[in-house]
């Protein structure tokens, strides 16, 4: 038997429980049957993946409880068997699974908590990139400001939350008395990013949310300011926008600043 065939047969057994291809390859043993010995690996594979999912979503696990989480894991594994050589990506569809699979879909705060925890993990694993410096920001000539474009660092991710999910995450993190999630009047955007080797997150008010949308759309500073007319008095907009962007640069959320004009193709800071 070729090694590749044996490996493929064993993988199919671990992932799908089909022992028909593997059984003929198992040596006889007077103590334990081939099925029983195979089952050791079958169970160990699932126990390890369940442990990985719990480590990736510890607060979601606490909200669900051990029994419900274990049941959800089995359903999730059947729908989304591990396809990547690294188990780091096994849980990438878990929040979507919770959002669209009964009975978990009846409790949308579960999917939000899974979104929150995956976003934090993403900031750590995201690729490296250049980081704009505050001195680059402050050295820009005033006449160039309307044409500046700010590029978001690849480690930055954002999520809208309908519940107070980030605050509930902190309640669990601080081992405070457990409480139910609170539905908000309207969704709130939260930003997640990496500074050094540590993850951070914070909420956006309505004006900051509008600005972030504009930065994602690669709008120049002048248009970012125009988009704030319905949120702030006109005489306060430029200062607010500049202060917000300066804070994002300080937080290392901006990878580069570009000057886009007909006579200047690109100035990377």
N- to C-terminal Cα separation, the chain: 60
Question: DSSP letters along 90-134, please?
Answer: GGGGHHHHHHHSTTGGG-HHHHHHHHHHHHHHHHHHSPP-----H
**CA torsion 75→80→81→85, rounded to 10°?**
-140
Mean pLDDT by 10-residue block, N- to C-terminus, for the chain (269 residues)?
76 74 74 79 88 97 97 94 84 97 97 97 91 87 92 96 97 95 96 94 97 96 96 96 95 92 47
Q: Is residue 77 part of a domain?
A: no
CA distance 41 to 17: 11
Q: Is residue 176 part of a domain?
A: yes
Q: Is residue 164 part of a domain?
A: yes
Q: Is residue 48 part of a domain?
A: no
Helix 34-56 × helix 3-16 angle, to 10°? 60
Q: What is the pLDDT of residue 264?
A: 45
**Residue 148 structural domain:** 130-260
Q: Is residue 5 part of a domain?
A: no
Tell me the whole-structure pTM to 2 decimals: 0.84
Q: Is residue 140 part of a domain?
A: yes
Q: What is the pLDDT of residue 1?
A: 58
- Work out how many domains the chain is built from and give that number: 1
CA distance 148 to 151: 10
Q: What is the pLDDT of residue 187?
A: 97
**Phi, psi (rounded to 5 degrees) for 126:** -65, 155
**Cα–Cα distances in Å, from 160 out to 157, 190, 204?**
11, 6, 10
**Cα–Cα distances in Å, from 152 out to 48, 92, 226, 236, 247?**
36, 22, 20, 24, 13
- Facing residues of 189 across strands? 160
> Exposed, middle or buried by CB within 10 Å (0-12, 13-18, 19+), for 221?
buried
- Token pair listed for 58: 């510890």
Q: Is residue 60 part of a domain?
A: no
- Facing residues of 214 across strands? none
Enter the DSSP assignment of 20. Answer: T
Q: Is residue 42 part of a domain?
A: no
CATH number at 221 reads: 3.90.930.50
């Amino acid at each position: 038997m070729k090694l590749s065939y044996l490996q493929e047969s064993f993988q199919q057994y671990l992932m799908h429980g089909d022992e028909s291809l593997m059984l003929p390859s198992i040596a006889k043993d007077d103590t334990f049957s081939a099925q029983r010995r195979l089952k050791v690996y079958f169970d160990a594979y699932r126990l390890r993946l369940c442990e990985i999912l719990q480590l990736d979503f510890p607060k979601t696990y606490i909200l669900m409880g051990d029994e419900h989480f274990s049941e959800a894991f089995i359903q999730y594994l059947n729908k989304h068997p591990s396809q990547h050589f690294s188990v780091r990506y096994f849980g990438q569809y878990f929040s979507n699974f919770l959002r669209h699979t009964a009975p978990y879909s009846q409790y949308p705060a579960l999917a939000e908590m899974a979104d929150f925890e995956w976003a934090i993990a993403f900031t750590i694993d995201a690729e490296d990139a250049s980081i704009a410096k505050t001195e680059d920001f402050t050295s820009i000539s005033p006449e160039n400001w309307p044409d500046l474009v700010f590029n978001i660092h690849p480690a930055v991710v954002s999520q809208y939350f309908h519940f107070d999910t980030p605050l509930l995450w902190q309640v669990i993190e601080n081992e405070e008395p457990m409480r139910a999630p609170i539905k908000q009047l309207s969704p709130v955007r939260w930003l997640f990013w990496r500074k050094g080797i540590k993850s951070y997150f914070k909420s956006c008010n309505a004006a900051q949310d509008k600005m972030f949308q504009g930065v994602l759309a690669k709008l120049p500073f002048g248009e970012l300011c125009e988009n704030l007319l319905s949120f702030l008095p006109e005489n306060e907009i430029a200062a607010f926008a500049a202060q917000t962007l300066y804070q994002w640069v300080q937080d290392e959320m901006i990878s580069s600043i570009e000057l886009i004009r007909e006579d200047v193709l690109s100035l990377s800071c």
